[in-house]
């Protein structure tokens, strides 16, 4: 398992350097004041002013800092050294206060104390995790009584499809041994001259819900949408601003909110 996680950590360290320069992330726009958050999470999570917020798997922290700009007291966590270094640099350059910690999810209770009003995570995070029950336990560990967990994530069904979106390529249900892929470029820059192995675990929707329920969280809602707010799949097209749709309306994304 360490080999898988170390390989993925290396991938994300190198992806960070690509992502920093990509139009997808638009770091210059963010530094000028643009929020990286989507209207979906802004509407569904609601006002965070004055609340403490823990952002798990924050990459290089633009969403974390966007929540801070809205008045939250934020901590961002990621396992990639390069990502955390860039997040700290962005915090300093923009003057937006935030704390960033380099840790994988499972080791976080050993290095971060306290509890939070909000735990947040989003978009393309769960399939890098080999153990969802342990992940959910960490989420519950950091939530204050009455606190809110919110996530917006790509739907497990989206990962079944091949590049044309017309055929099933990958399994739906979890297997202990991950799938290995050779990543070419990056989702943020498919033309980047870069190749690196990656390990990926598939989790069903029931896996996700039952992990959170098993950790003691109460699910308030789960929505399913036939579009993505990010142009991350080769089989989608932008039919309206900020929404990419597949040719056939299948679930591509789901938000979920739960309380402790």
Query: Residue 1 — very low, low, confident or very high, per pLDDT cuts 50/70/90?
Result: low
Question: What are the tens digits of pLDDT across the range 141-197?
Answer: 999 999 999 999 999 999 898 877 778 888 899 999 999 999 999 999 999 999 999
Instruction: Say if residue 83's pLDDT is above 90.
Output: yes
Instruction: Say if residue 206's pLDDT is above 70.
Output: yes
Instruction: Say if residue 115's pLDDT is above 70.
Output: yes
Question: What are the tens digits of pLDDT across the range 223-252?
Answer: 999 999 988 888 899 998 999 999 888 999
The predicted model scores a pTM of: 0.96
**Residue 168: per-residue pLDDT:** 85
Instruction: Say if residue 200's pLDDT is above 80.
Output: yes
Q: What is the 3-state secondary structure (H, E, C) of the chain?
A: CHHHHHHHHHHHHHHHHHHHCCCCCCHHHHHCCCCCCCHHHHHHHCCCCCCEEEEECCCCCHHHHHHHHCCCEEEEEECCHHHHHHHHHHHHHHCCCCEEEECCHHHHHHCCCCCEEEEEEECCCHHHCCCHHHHHHHHHHHEEEEEEEEEEEECHHHHHECCCCCCECCCCCCCCCCEEEEEECECCECCCCCEEEEEECCCCHHHHHHHHHHCCCEEEEECCECCECCCCCCCEEEEECCEEEECCCCCCEEEEEEEC
Domain layout of the chain by residue ranges: 2-259
The architecture CATH gives domain 2-259: 3-Layer(aba) Sandwich (3.40)
Residue with tokens 């991938």: 11
d(CA 99, CA 78): 12
């Amino acid at each position: 398992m360490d080999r898988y996680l170390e390989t993925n950590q290396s991938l994300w360290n190198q992806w960070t350097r690509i992502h920093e320069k990509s139009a997808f992330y638009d770091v210059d726009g963010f530094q000028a004041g643009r929020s990286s958050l989507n209207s979906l999470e802004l509407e569904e999570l609601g006002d965070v002013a004055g609340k403490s917020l823990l952002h798990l798997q924050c990459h290089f922290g633009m969403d974390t800092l966007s929540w801070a700009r809205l008045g939250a007291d934020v901590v961002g966590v990621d396992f990639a050294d390069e990502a955390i270094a860039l997040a700290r640099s962005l915090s300093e350059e923009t003057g937006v206060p935030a704390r960033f910690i380099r840790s994988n999810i499972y080791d976080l209770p050993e290095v971060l104390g306290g509890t939070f009003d909000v735990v947040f995570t989003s978009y393309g995070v769960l399939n890098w995790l080999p153990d969802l029950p342990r992940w959910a336990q960490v989420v519950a560990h950091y939530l204050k009584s009455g606190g809110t967990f919110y996530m917006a994530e790509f739907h497990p069904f989206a990962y079944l499809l091949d590049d044309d979106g017309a055929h099933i390529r990958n399994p739906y249900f979890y297997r202990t041994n991950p799938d290995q892929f050779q990543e070419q470029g990056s989702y943020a820059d498919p033309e980047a001259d870069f190749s690196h192995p990656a390990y990926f675990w598939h989790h069903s929707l029931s896996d996700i819900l039952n992990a959170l329920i098993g950790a003691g969280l109460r699910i308030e809602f789960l929505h399913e949408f036939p579009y993505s707010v990010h142009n991350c799949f080769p089989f989608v097209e932008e039919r309206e601003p900020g929404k990419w749709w597949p040719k056939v309306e299948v679930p591509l994304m789901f938000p979920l909110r739960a309380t402790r």
